[in-house]
A and B are shown apart, each in its own frame.
Chain A
Amino acid sequence: MKNQNIRIDSHLRQRFQSELEHAPENPWFIRKVMNRLPERPAGRRAAALVRALYALGVAALIFGWGYAVNETLQHGLTLTSIILAVTLPVTTLIGVAVVAIPAIRRSL
């Protein structure tokens, strides 16, 4: 019985897949869907979270730069000040390139 079912399934699958056609091509389908997409109200909460994370990032960078300048002025060239001198400019540049510039572009 099981073998018979497997045989029937295989036969039906082959017929379904070879004989049932695809839907007719509609070149406007994707555009129609995209034009009908509504705004998502739930996005506001996520946007607020993203803004809070950006603010936290900016505050961390300001604190980092302040700490680095203070460390260098007080103790001269130490291992900490060298590490900060390398990591802070890189982090700042990445932040500006990945977050700030695209955000400014979007707002224009």
Chain B
Amino acid sequence: MITRFDEIKLLAQCMVSDNREAFSRLVEAYQPEVKRFILHLTGGDAPLTDDLAQETFIKAWLAIRSFRGLSGLKTWLFRIAVNEFVSYRRKRHNDAEWDVTGRESVALADRTENPHRSTEARMDVATLLATLPEQERIVSLLFYLEDLPLKKISQILSMPEGTVKSHLSRARNHLAKAAEVL
């Protein structure tokens, strides 16, 4: 974890002198959160998560001079990650090999045979997430997992706060009902 002062210093070094060492420290600091977020967006696909996270940081490096610092670096990185994920999904729209819901259905079937309680609990939340539409899944992860306020989520998704609230409300109802069933 780096302090706000260190973050500003490292960003300045990246912007002014293309300092790669400074950028690698930013990658080191933010990669666990970015990767966890992408991992659950992709339904637990670790190799895909690695690829999308790499693309996220490369895009951040290329655009770092356009970063104005108004929203915070983490918010900006999450915004890039969401864009990377959405553009990947669009490319693979008709590709049957990648389907979160399908994969999680298999996981749900496995879960019934797994006697370990902790594994079962993990499956439950992951399964619940996989049943949500894409926008609601993204909003849920940002709100519940990353604990971001609605204002920041609206910045990340480039949508009005009211729309984020609607997505969150639908996701909340769906998750609450499904959690009781599961």
Q: Which residue of the partner chain, among A16, A29, A32, A40, contacts B18 with CB atoms under 8 Å?
A: A40
A5 touches B172 (CB 8 A): yes
Chain A residues lying within 8 Å of B125, measured Cβ to Cβ, are 15-16, 19-20
Quick one: which of B39-90 are within 8 Å of A by CB? Answer: 39-40, 46, 49-50, 53-54, 57-58, 61-62, 65
Contact B58 A24 (CB under 8 A): no
Q: Could you tell me if A16 and B144 are in contact, using CB atoms closer than 8 angstroms?
A: yes
**Which residues of A in the span 5-34 have a Cβ within 8 Å of any Cβ on B?**
5, 8-9, 12-13, 15-17, 19-24, 26, 29-30, 32-34
A19 engages B24 (CB within 8 Å) = no
B107 within 8 A of A: no
List residues of chain B with CB within 8 A of the CB of A26: 50
B124 within 8 A of A: yes
Given A16-B144, A19-B125, A21-B122, A8 and B176 contact (CB-CB distance below 8 Å): yes
Q: Which of A26, A36, A43 is most buried by chain B, counting CB atoms within 10 A of its CB? A: A26
> Which A-chain residue is minimally distant from B176 (CB atoms)?
A8
The 8 Å CB contact of A33, one of B58, B62, B144, is: B58
A12, A38, A43: the one contacting B144 at CB < 8 Å is A12
Residues of A within 8 Å of B32, CB to CB, are 22-23
How many Cβ-Cβ contacts under 8 Å join chain A to chain B?
Answer: 97
Contact across chains for A8 and B145 when beta carbons are under 8 A apart: no
Do A32 and B145 have beta carbons less than 8 Å apart?
A: no
Q: Which secondary structure characterizes the binding site on chain A?
A: helix
- A19-B121, A19-B125, A40-B61 are contacts. A34–B31 as well, Cβ < 8 Å? no
Closest B residue to A28 using CB positions: B50
Additional A-B contact list (8), CB under 8 Å, known A15-B179, A38-B61: A12-B175, A16-B140, A16-B144, A21-B36, A22-B39, A23-B36, A23-B38, A34-B27
A sample of 19 inter-chain contacts (CB < 8 A) reads: A8-B176, A12-B140, A13-B145, A17-B145, A19-B122, A19-B125, A22-B32, A23-B36, A26-B50, A29-B27, A29-B31, A29-B50, A32-B54, A33-B24, A33-B54, A34-B27, A37-B20, A37-B23, A38-B58
Q: Which residues of B contact A (CB under 8 A)?
A: 16, 18, 20, 23-24, 27-28, 31-32, 35-36, 38-40, 46, 49-50, 53-54, 57-58, 61-62, 65, 121-122, 124-126, 140-141, 143-145, 147, 172, 175-176, 179
